[in-house]
Structure 1
């Protein structure tokens, strides 16, 4: 098995428009999806949720505020999973709840 990073991108972090019930449903979807990954023995790293503020450093020492100056989606979190292939990792990503809210999952092999 190889390691793959699933990077969760979303249009924004603002969940204030969700009711308590909607937020509970969203949390349960995430928990259920993650539980399958754990049950299958695929989880390598359970990820880190990223906060909104940040900086971007580019070549030449150019520093800008915000991690999303030039993109429309925010990298919200990621996990590292085990999968047989890129196609297999993509299959795992299909159930990700970020897709329900207009987000996306980037699937990338991890170089060891």
Structure 2
């Protein structure tokens, strides 16, 4: 098995308009999906800093388009890229227009 990273972007459209019950049901679907793919999830805080120009520019952030904001990520095991993509297809982020970027994690650096 190899390790893969899912990077979640967007998915905020319409989410804030949901009732508390709908939000809770959506979060339950996230929990069920994460258990299904046996992923380890680490949500991100809204606040952060953006560092640019070798540290000469530091701003509060992120200040990017909503669809570009990283909303969270998970690490999971999959046989290969096709398997990792297949596991991502029923991710709850798609319910609100978000995307899931799938990347293989390099676990050993060849020197």
> Over aligned residue pairs, what C-alpha RMSD do you find?
2.0
Match in the other structure for 1:80: 75
Match in the other structure for 1:109: 104
Q: Give the unaligned 5+ runs of structure 2.
A: none
- 1:59 deviates by 3.2
- 1:35 deviates by 2.1
| CA deviation map 1:31-89 (0-9, x unaligned) | 22112113xxxx3xx1211111111112332222212x244322111110111111111
2:46 alignment partner, one of 40, 44, 52: 52
1 CA distance for matches of 2:45 and 2:93? 16
Match in the other structure for 1:18: 18
Q: Give the unaligned 5+ runs of structure 1.
A: none
3-state DSSP of counterpart to 1:48:
strand
- 1:14 deviates by 8.4
- 1:30 deviates by 0.8
The alignment of Structure 1 onto Structure 2 pairs a total of residues equal to 105
Q: Does structure 1 retain, via aligned residues, the 8 Å contact 2:12–2:97?
A: no
Structure 2-normalised TM-score? 0.81
Q: Does structure 1 retain, via aligned residues, the 8 Å contact 2:11–2:93?
A: no
Match in the other structure for 2:90: 95
Structure 1-normalised TM-score? 0.81
2 CA distance for matches of 1:63 and 1:12? 26
Runs of 4+ in structure 1 deviating by more than 6 angstroms, as ranges, are none
